Amino acid sequence: MYRSKIHNEVQVTMNYNLNETASKTEQKKSTLAALTKLLGLIKEEKRTLIIAMIIILINAGLSLLGPFLIGHTIDTYIQSKQYHGVILFSGILLCMYITVFITNYLQITLMGGVGQRMLYSLRNAVFNKLQILPVDFFNQNKAGDLISRINNDTDKLNQFFSQSLMQFISSIFTMLGAGIFLLSINPELGAAALLPALVIWIFTKSISPWVKGKNAANLKSVGGLSAEIQESLNNFKVIVAFNRRDYFRKRFGEANQKNYATSVSAGLANNIFTPVYGLSSNIGQLIVLAFGIYLITTGQFTIGLLIGFLAYIYSFYQPLRQLAALWASFQVAMAGWDRISQILSLDTNLLVIEDQKTDSSSAYLSFRDVSFTYPNGKEVLHHVSFDLERGKTYAFVGPTGGGKTTTASLIARLYDASTGTVLLDGKDIRTYHPEERTAKIGFILQEPFLFSGTVRDNILYGNPEYRNLSNDELAEVIKESGLESLLVRFDEGLESKVQTSGDSISLGQKQLIAFMRSVLRKPQLLILDEATANIDTITEQLLESILQKLPSSTTRVIIAHRLNTIENADEIFFVNSGEVIPAGSLQDAVNLLLHGKRES
Amino acid sequence: MSNSIHQKEPGKQSKPNVFSLLKPYRGMITFLVIFALLSNGVNLLLPKIISRAIDAFTAGHFVFRTVVLEFSVAAFVIFFFTYLQSIVQTFASEKVARDLRTRLSDKISRQSYTYILKTNPSKLLTNLTSDIDSIKMFVSMAVVTIFSSIFMIVGTSVLLIRINYKLAVPIIAIIPIIGGTFFIVLKKVRVLFKRSREVIDWLNKVINESIMGSAIIRVLNAQQAEYHKFMEANTEARNLGLGILRLFAALIPIVTFTANLGMLVILMLGGHFVITGSMSLGDFAAFNSYLALLIFPILMIGFMSNIIAMASASYARINEVLEAPEIIETGTVKASLHGNIELINVSLSYGDKPILKDISFSVKGGTQVAIIGPTAAGKSQLLNLLTDLVKHDQGTILFDGRDIESYDKESFRSQIGFVLQDSVIFNMSLRENIAFSDKVTDESLEKAINTAELRDFVDSLPDKLNTIVSERGTSLSGGQKQRIMLARALAINPKIVLLDDFTARVDRETEKKILSNLEMNYPDLTLLSITQNIASVKHFEQIILLMEGEVIATGTHRELMETCTEYVQIENSQRSTSHYEL
């Protein structure tokens, strides 16, 4: 009835290793396409952007007008000694300067605001994506590299948007205006003067992918550096205890040196624009001078026009020089955006599938011919089938590395089976919405993780039902669940401080918090994966009695190798070498443990 | 959870100045400034060449080739020096960044374990990445710009005064106005910059926890909660960004406006002078063009002040780390340890919270000792004290009769194998993970692997010891990680081994084998083992019962069974299964 063929249709294979997928996505993606995608993120800013554009235009126009008005005043009034005209035009200029003051303020506020808000939505989008992606993604990427992508790379985009974009736009406007002037004064000379600009355009176009590549390599090495720091600092205890401070220095030194090398080559690549643009601009002036004088000798041009022409050449090439610097920061931003969109383009491979027909068996959870292979190619489970009945207690025992945790992870759907089906309450586990599924299944992980905050924050983590209870009400609930004797072990009860890293809280205490957290959620199926391994045996008996008090319909799955924790199990499964075999009795399990072929 | 951002005041005792960072790079910076001034200087020649050419042309003695030659030479000289400047600039800024990172990491690597915990790795990560970046930006952009801007401002001011001092004075007066505005705004911005760095620490922490806790978040379907936490930090970051923006949005228009007013003054006052005949039209025109030259550098300094403010805030944060007091190792004794350990009235507390109270016991070299006790009794902390990772507050810890402080730490720790409770696996080959110390020989590596019962596992791997294991060790099972930790501790051929709840993740059969391997392969070893399981340590020479930070009883299994009710209680809790003698 449950054939693996249904499964194959849904199985989504996804490579989550960002550094492996990098080279693939990089190829052949036009800047324009990337930019369009980026602008999609700030759709709602369209109005603001349009207003900002208009203001930038006004500002650029007025700024160009100023020198013209001053020139006019000098020519017409000062030279003819009419002071009232000077005062009149000073008044006009003052009004204009006040307008410039306002537009200047507005353009910075508007564009900067767009930049900040874009950074905000970009970070949110990336973080949101991180929450959608499955555990597999985190196992394949380093924390430091991910942090670097969310923080550093988004910031590169922000820098471009809030600081450079404004200059970028106004430079382009000024340039276009001057270019049109040049061509209209004398098309021949104008075209000649703009020739170097064409060369620049070709140069920029052909060199940009290379520059972007250098920046991408640099951002990658920044990610690597951050990953290195992250790993070493989090494992500092071992580094000190084993006298390997030099190890930290050496590993960091290598990453630092690598980062230095890529940064220098990215810096050199980025800095190539400025001198080249400057040279072209000067050559443009030389062409105008030489060609202009030639035109004058042939009588097609006047000396007065040449002087004016030279001034416009300046207003054409000056913004172009600024563009050189901006273009480099644009390339950096695009390289950062590539790294971010790599994450954004990933999707979860744990999709919710269409409702299948329900299974009539009474089992609450069943494995049907389940095999599982980790992304690194290691097959951990081979054709496993078993049933777990409602309200019973099951123990999974077996040597380390036999597949116990993997089995539990499949029950909680942290992964999907490679082939075969996992049924929860008669339905394929993949048909459940995450909310429904996680409410039914409680899973106490082998390595407890606490969020920084208080004990209260942590035991109510992911528990919407009790989140808004006052401490007194919560204490009542805790008492009802029989957990109050566990809470006593924290000096300040619910308000005891918890740090993610460090020694302020012991591993045993972490396990107690994880235990309380799971019990308070009242799951239908509770998995304890070595969940009490670091808790003393007396407390463990207490936990045992709390487990007994769970509603009679609760199914318990206990993974342990301490026999006393499993002696009350209704059924024992022996998990070894990727197989799950029912052991008749505790004695059977012991025999299997002692004499069964172990593979670890 | 709490959005507490520590509003710590920076150490007021020394005011770190970003410019002081540049001292060791004086040579490079000098070249940088010279190249910049040269290219800028030659740039000023170009208009001269053009105007001379035009003058010559109108005068009729225009020589085409000379002009083209002069101009081309100037253009290429400019190109050459700008290019050179950009190269030096890149190297200088990257060198400063790299060296500062090295200094920081050196400093961090010499700090104590407790310092790292207190300072919080997320903040150190920001120090080593974002903070350094803003300093890099300072070196690559601000330094040159400021030098050439000051040069231009002084130069043009002198020229203005020489042309007409009466007109020059009101123009030069705008410089302090602009300077004052900058001063006020930057003072406000500094606070915001510092805070925005702290918000980045905060963001890092949230991201970090959501990555480390990714499995539990998915089990509990708490993605929404994480998203909210992130939103909170991110919103704060955005608001700060907008706050900084508002300040700068006011600053730059004010500067431009002031400069424009300067233009007006020239027009009105200068115009008046020209009309009354006290100034020539040529001087007036020159005044105008020089004003443009004066304003541009002022604006540039304005833009750069943003970068300088950011860099100063970052440098202050980095300096806090650089100037933190270092642990002073006074110990010099490098003697080989026999394993005699004695604790006399040792106490430890975290803040007001006592962790260990008046602990006294002694361990004879070469014996096996178990430490038993309930969760949070302070067992792991006791091991932290014995490895000197954490300093005790009171009492004395003696190794072979000498105070722990008198030992040279490196030699001391190289004789102690510490197996932590949490598995720490580095992202490198299995060999490097186990032979974590450079003093490990192939022989001792082999012995450690065999003792930790890892031989079969290693042989089952396609690349054997060269297999790369992952950051969080997810490709390994809990028991495998634990045994790698043990092998790592044994590989240094220790005199003393400290096991922190080693048995928790290893099945009893393997544990038994490992214990007998230990006795066989490391006969003189002193073993201190924290455990929950009495059965496996019954034969140990001494068992110490620790509860709520106090030693309740010490003795052999038999002695404790007779004298200590708490011990009997623990024993009873394990008795039910003990007929399955394993």
pLDDT at B342 over 70: yes
What is the Cα–Cα distance from A70 to A67, expressed in whole angstroms?
A: 5
- Residue A21's pLDDT band, with cuts at 50, 70 and 90, is low
Amino acid identity for residue B232 in this structure: E
Q: Are A256 and A182 in contact (CB under 8 A)?
A: no
Please indicate whether, in this complex, the C-beta atoms of B420 and A238 are within 8 angstroms of each other. Answer: yes
Please give the residue that has the higher pLDDT: either A307 or A29.
A307
Question: Of A374-378, A549-553, B204-208, B540-544, which range is least confident?
Answer: A374-378
CA angle B549, B551, B557 (to 5 degrees): 135
Tell me which chain B residues have a C-beta less than 8 angstroms from the C-beta of A68: none
What is the Cα–Cα distance from A279 to B279, expressed in whole angstroms?
A: 38
pLDDT given at position B3: 41
Helices (H), B349-477: 379-386, 409-413, 430-434, 442-451, 455-460
CA angle B529, B531, B536 (to 5 degrees): 90
Residue whose C-alpha is closest to residue B157's, from B147, B167, B172, B146? B172
**Mind listing the pLDDT tens digit for each residue in A251-296?**
888 889 999 999 999 989 988 888 888 888 888 888 888 888 888 8
- CATH topology (fold) of A365-595: Rossmann fold (3.40.50)
Task: Find the residue in B nearest to A376 (Cα).
Answer: B475
Average pLDDT over residues B377-387: 83
Domain boundaries, chain B: 23-95, 111-322, 341-575
Place of tokens 């048995």: B503
**Mind listing the pLDDT tens digit for each residue in A542-576?**
888 888 888 888 888 888 766 666 777 888 888 88
pLDDT given at position A71: 73
Q: Nearest CB to A509: which of B350, B376, B483?
A: B376
Does the beta carbon of B422 lie under 8 angstroms from any beta carbon of chain A?
yes
Average pLDDT over residues B533-551: 83
Phi, psi of B22 (to 5 degrees): -80, -10
Please indicate whether, in this complex, the C-beta atoms of B238 and A119 are within 8 angstroms of each other. Answer: yes
What is the Cα–Cα distance from B24 to A223, expressed in whole angstroms?
A: 28
Q: Nearest CB to B221: which of A128, A134, A438?
A: A438
pLDDT at B4 over 60: no
Q: Which class is B111-322 in CATH?
A: mainly alpha
Q: Nearest CB to B257: which of A66, A97, A489?
A: A97
Question: Of A124-128, A240-244, A275-279, B70-74, which range is least confident?
Answer: A240-244
Does the beta carbon of B492 lie under 8 angstroms from any beta carbon of chain A?
yes
- Residue A56's pLDDT band, with cuts at 50, 70 and 90, is confident
**Mind listing the pLDDT tens digit for each residue in B479-509?**
788 888 888 888 888 888 888 887 777 777 7
Tell me which chain B residues have a C-beta less than 8 angstroms from the C-beta of A227: 471
pLDDT given at position A261: 93
Please indicate whether, in this complex, the C-beta atoms of B90 and A264 are within 8 angstroms of each other. Answer: yes
- Residue A22's pLDDT band, with cuts at 50, 70 and 90, is low
Q: Nearest CB to B79: which of A249, A275, A541?
A: A275
pLDDT at B398 over 70: yes
Q: Are B1 and A450 in contact (CB under 8 A)?
A: no
Place of tokens 């009835």: A1
Q: Full-prediction pTM beyond 0.90?
A: no
Q: What is the DSSP string of B95-164?
A: HHHHHHHHHHHHHHHHS-HHHHHHH-HHHHHHIIIIIHHHHHHIIIIIHHHHHHHHHHHHHHHHHHHHH-
Domain boundaries, chain A: 42-132, 142-345, 365-595
pLDDT given at position A594: 63
Please indicate whether, in this complex, the C-beta atoms of B241 and A116 are within 8 angstroms of each other. Answer: yes
Q: How far is B418 from chain A (nearest CA, A)?
A: 7
Q: In what order do the strands lie in the sheet with B542-547?
A: B416-419, B496-500, B526-530, B368-372, B542-547, B550-555
Report the SS3 class of residue A333. helix
Tell me which chain A residues have a C-beta less than 8 angstroms from the C-beta of B552: none
Please give the residue that has the higher pLDDT: either B268 or A302.
B268
pLDDT at B353 over 70: yes
Tell me which chain A residues have a C-beta less than 8 angstroms from the C-beta of B384: 503
pLDDT given at position A258: 92
Task: Find the residue in B nearest to A218 (Cα).
Answer: B94
pLDDT given at position A499: 77
Residues 136-155 in B contacting A (C-alpha not used; CB under 8 Å): 140
Does the beta carbon of B74 lie under 8 angstroms from any beta carbon of chain A?
yes
**Mind listing the pLDDT tens digit for each residue in A188-228?**
888 888 888 888 889 988 888 898 889 889 888 888 888 88
Q: Nearest CB to B94: which of A66, A116, A263?
A: A263
Q: How far is B68 from chain A (nearest CA, A)?
A: 7
Tell me which chain B residues have a C-beta less than 8 angstroms from the C-beta of A117: 238
CA torsion, ordered B533, B534, B537, B543, to nearest 10 deg = 120
pLDDT given at position A290: 84
Please indicate whether, in this complex, the C-beta atoms of A233 and B248 are within 8 angstroms of each other. Answer: no
Does the beta carbon of B103 lie under 8 angstroms from any beta carbon of chain A?
no
The CATH homologous superfamily for domain B341-575 is P-loop containing nucleotide triphosphate hydrolases (3.40.50.300)
In this prediction the ipTM stands at 0.80
Does the beta carbon of B71 lie under 8 angstroms from any beta carbon of chain A?
yes
pLDDT at A72 over 60: yes
pLDDT given at position A11: 44
What is the Cα–Cα distance from B457 to B449, expressed in whole angstroms?
A: 10
Tell me which chain B residues have a C-beta less than 8 angstroms from the C-beta of A242: 413, 418, 436-437, 488, 492
Residues 288-327 in B contacting A (C-alpha not used; CB under 8 Å): 288
Q: What percent of chain B has pLDDT over 90?
A: 4
Please indicate whether, in this complex, the C-beta atoms of A127 and B230 are within 8 angstroms of each other. Answer: yes
Please indicate whether, in this complex, the C-beta atoms of B105 and A248 are within 8 angstroms of each other. Answer: yes
Q: How far is B489 from chain A (nearest CA, A)?
A: 8
Rounded (10°) angle between helices A83-132 and A165-185:
130
Please indicate whether, in this complex, the C-beta atoms of A70 and B573 are within 8 angstroms of each other. Answer: no
- Residue A359's pLDDT band, with cuts at 50, 70 and 90, is low
Residue whose C-alpha is closest to residue A563's, from B469, B532, B539, B270? B532
Please indicate whether, in this complex, the C-beta atoms of B108 and A233 are within 8 angstroms of each other. Answer: yes
Report the SS3 class of residue B545. strand
Place of tokens 């002037």: A181
Please indicate whether, in this complex, the C-beta atoms of A124 and B230 are within 8 angstroms of each other. Answer: yes
Task: Find the residue in B nearest to A377 (Cα).
Answer: B475
Q: Nearest CB to A233: which of B72, B124, B220?
A: B124
* Cα→Cα distances B445→A524, B438, B506, Å: 47, 11, 21
pLDDT given at position B533: 78
pLDDT at B330 over 50: yes
- Which one of A507, A518, A526, A543 would you mutate to disrupt binding with B, by most B Cβ within 10 Å of its Cβ? A507
A462: left (phi over 0), alpha (psi -120 to 50) or beta: left
Please indicate whether, in this complex, the C-beta atoms of A414 and B253 are within 8 angstroms of each other. Answer: no
Tell me which chain B residues have a C-beta less than 8 angstroms from the C-beta of A567: 576-577
Q: How far is A27 from chain B (nearest CA, A)?
A: 28
Mean pLDDT (chain B) is 81
Give me the total of CB pairs closer than 8 Å, taking one residue from chain A and one from chain B: 483
Report the SS3 class of residue B533. coil
- Which one of B219, B248, B384, B582 would you mutate to disrupt binding with A, by most A Cβ within 10 Å of its Cβ? B219
pLDDT given at position A574: 84
What is the Cα–Cα distance from B553 to B571, expressed in whole angstroms?
A: 14
Contacts of B191 (CB under 8 A, 6+ apart): none
Does the beta carbon of B8 lie under 8 angstroms from any beta carbon of chain A?
no
Mean pLDDT (chain A) is 80
Q: In what order do the strands lie in the sheet with A393-397?
A: A441-444, A525-529, A555-559, A393-397, A571-576, A579-583
Please indicate whether, in this complex, the C-beta atoms of B211 and A443 are within 8 angstroms of each other. Answer: no
Please indicate whether, in this complex, the C-beta atoms of B532 and A537 are within 8 angstroms of each other. Answer: yes
Structure tokens given for B346:
């040792």
Please give the residue that has the higher pLDDT: either B433 or A362.
B433
Please indicate whether, in this complex, the C-beta atoms of A127 and B210 are within 8 angstroms of each other. Answer: yes
Structure tokens given for B228:
């909210």
pLDDT given at position A4: 37
- CATH topology (fold) of A142-345: ABC transporter transmembrane region fold (1.20.1560)
Phi, psi of A2 (to 5 degrees): -100, 95
**Mind listing the pLDDT tens digit for each residue in A464-495?**
788 888 888 888 888 888 888 888 888 788 88
- Which one of B211, B266, B438 would you mutate to disrupt binding with A, by most A Cβ within 10 Å of its Cβ? B211
What is the Cα–Cα distance from A181 to B319, expressed in whole angstroms?
A: 54
pLDDT given at position A402: 77
Average pLDDT over residues A13-32: 61
Please indicate whether, in this complex, the C-beta atoms of B86 and A272 are within 8 angstroms of each other. Answer: yes
Range of A51-55, A246-250, A425-429, B276-280 with top mean pLDDT: A51-55
Please indicate whether, in this complex, the C-beta atoms of B116 and A236 are within 8 angstroms of each other. Answer: yes
Task: Find the residue in A nearest to B257 (Cα).
Answer: A101
